[in-house]
Structure 1
Amino acid sequence: MVSNTFHIGGDLGVRRLGFGAMHLPTEPASGRAMSVAVARRAVELGVTLMDTAHMYGGGANEELLAEALHPYPDGLLITTKVGVARSPESGEWRLDGRPATLRAQVEQGLRRLRVERIELLQLHRIDPETPLADQLGTLRELQTEGKIGRIGLSEVTTAELDRALEIIEVSSVQNRYNLLDREHESVLAACEAAGIAFLPWRTVAWGASGQRAEIAAVAAETGGTPTQVALAWLLGHSPVILPIPGTARIDHLEENLAAADLNLTSDQRYRLNRLSEKPDRTAGP
């Protein structure tokens, strides 16, 4: 039986199937109104984990969620990310894990989200030009000051996760991962062994036509959609996986969240698992 809940950091309980807010437009006014409606509908349907970031509109996405949901209902976790900043010279986004930048973005996130503490704060990317100890040390200081509850990482390797665990307690990892893109399988395994929440982004992706056909076949067998099959596969693949599919449409939101009720048989999982296997390139033509 697949559990629908997980305790991040061992104590912060959420429903495993969450919502990624990145795709919610903040303008024009009509788009913003729909975004507010989608965020509110997500909470109505029981979502307790929402993901945003400073990079999403330079904080505009954080402000949108606060407009839609503040005062927040009990049990709702909004996690945000810091560590990517816009260059004042070029206007392009770049990695920036300098302590002053991280502190400033956390303070801005607190203000935009209208909270006194960010219960889960994730480092959007590790900045290779700033010592890791300085980046994580700054977040640990903010945690000690009570401005951060738990610390997570995003787009890390197993080696980077191991290094981080020597400095801080890691509560979550957010890496790209889905049924057809399992590059970070070893990172997921490390998270599972340590009880660290694994928040896959880009939760749905289609490969070659044969692969899509297999997913479509399983969808037909279950009475679900290919998207629901991909999400149900994630939920059953590991108990630490907390998918955060995003959408700007209420019908897609409802479709995504219904995946929690889709049960896959062991045979269906076996067939889906084979989709990510690499072909034997040494075999004959």
Structure 2
Amino acid sequence: MANNANGNSLGISGDMADAPLQAKTVRELQELAQNAPVTRAKAKRPVISRAARLHLIDILSRWSGPGLALVAGASIYLAVLAGRTHPGRATAWALMMFSALWVCRRLRDNFRAGSNHASRPFRWRSSFTAAVSVLGVILASAPILLVPATAFAAHGIQIFALTIIISFATGLALIAHLPSAAAVVIPGAIFAILTGLRGNDAGLLAAAVATSVLGIAGLYLANRMLEQNAAKRFPRTTFLRREIDRREENYGEDRDSGTEALQA
């Protein structure tokens, strides 16, 4: 009896809840459906194929050559410029800079020459990114290591501006792999802001922040466009490969059955 009473009470409450909707016309129900909040699923970043990733690694190995050459030329100029007044600082910074450049250049040349690194492209990319991160930190520290705080106004602005330009130009050359580009760009942005704080110059700090934000946003968009082009050129073939494997298995089974029939 209690269950019947509960069922009747639930049925009555359900009918009472549905009563307002039953009294409405079709057009009113359509307007309610259009105005109802809809929870949309978040768009996930598409996963690119292995062939597209290998294509991006090839672009990284090709484009990184001019980027490293640009860093080498700028490093020589910065070392000579700072060495006129602070030879000790310039010598120490140049030794660190060219050591990191040598490691990056050697990794890149070995991969392009088809050495053992070429058979493991993803491992080479991680090693190259680690070497580039060291290079990026040393390059970005030029305004602080080459020029003391007391003599910054003499030629520190020139070193500061050139360091930011070279950091973002090198990041553009490494845009095929976003972590590699970020390994150069992020230290450049951080040290530029630290240089502005160190000099107690509001204009220099504002310029460093604006340049960093715009540069990082531009590099991110460029990387997305390059990845989309690679994904269109080398689409994922998981379904096709699965169908080919299935057909090969069926063909092998039919061939085995036919051979057994002939032997019988």
Same fold (TM over 0.5): no
Instruction: Compute the TM-score of the two structures, normalised by the length of structure 1.
Output: 0.22
Higher helix share: 2
Name which structure has the greater RCO, CA cutoff 8 Å, separation 6+. Answer: 2
- State which structure, 1 or 2, has the greater radius of gyration over its C-alpha atoms: 2
Higher strand share: 1
